[in-house]
Amino acid sequence: MVLSKKRARHVIEEIIALFPDAKPSLDFRNHFELLVAVMLSAQTTDAAVNKATPALFEAYPTPQDMATAGEADIAKHISRLGLYRNKAKFLKKCAQQLLDDFDGQVPQTRAELESLAGVGRKTANVVMSVGFGIPAFAVDTHVERICKHHDIVKKSATPLEVEKRVMEVLPPERWLPAHQAMIYFGRAICHPKNPECDHYPQLYNFKDI
């Protein structure tokens, strides 16, 4: 049974309260580095990405540097990450698209971001919200698991349905804090196996809601 909007918001707000200072865990210094780091984070940990990106960004600090590099050379820098050959191909093509279509700048709209090689809706939402401060809600594995475990959405909900539900429940200014806090909550408490959410009864304090 899916929670009402008020109860769903209560759960999410309590998660935010547990991690009020949650920040992006990927390391980046500009929009291009953020885009690359988020692309690399698919099916691997942010910690692993952060180990690979310093040398990658030193070798290819701009889209032009990355676009002119060989795929094999890019791949060497990220070879410890999952799907690294595909990611190297996407990075090179994406960098070329930034030069050809956007004057070497990372675009700000979802449609333009999703036109880039290797960029899907989740990556676009992260870049929009974290990089540009544009309200968007990104759904990763932590967010999807938490929303299903806590009946914010039905168990069969798609990532897009999760995204729409959270955006419906929360005001836009809470979307980014919710995303960041849910990632921390998913890592520390709401594990895929043996979640420890029952240790936090405030999540379920629905009195008068």
Cα distances (angstroms) measured from residue 64 to each of 39, 68, 85, 109, 156? 17, 6, 20, 21, 42
Is the distance from CB of 136 to CB of 110 less than 8 angstroms? Answer: yes
- For 200, list phi and psi in degrees, rounded to 5: -125, 75
Assess whether 140 carries a catalytic annotation: yes
Catalytic residue chosen out of the listed positions 122, 151, 154, 208: 122
CA atoms within 13 Å, Cβ hemisphere of 96: 13
49 neighbors 34 (Cβ within 8 angstroms): no
Residue type, 20: P
Active-site annotation holds for 100: no
- CB neighbourhood size of 161 (10 A): 15
**Structure tokens given for 93:** 């093509």
Which entry of 27, 46, 92, 140 is annotated as an active-site residue?
Answer: 140
- Catalytically active residues are 122, 140
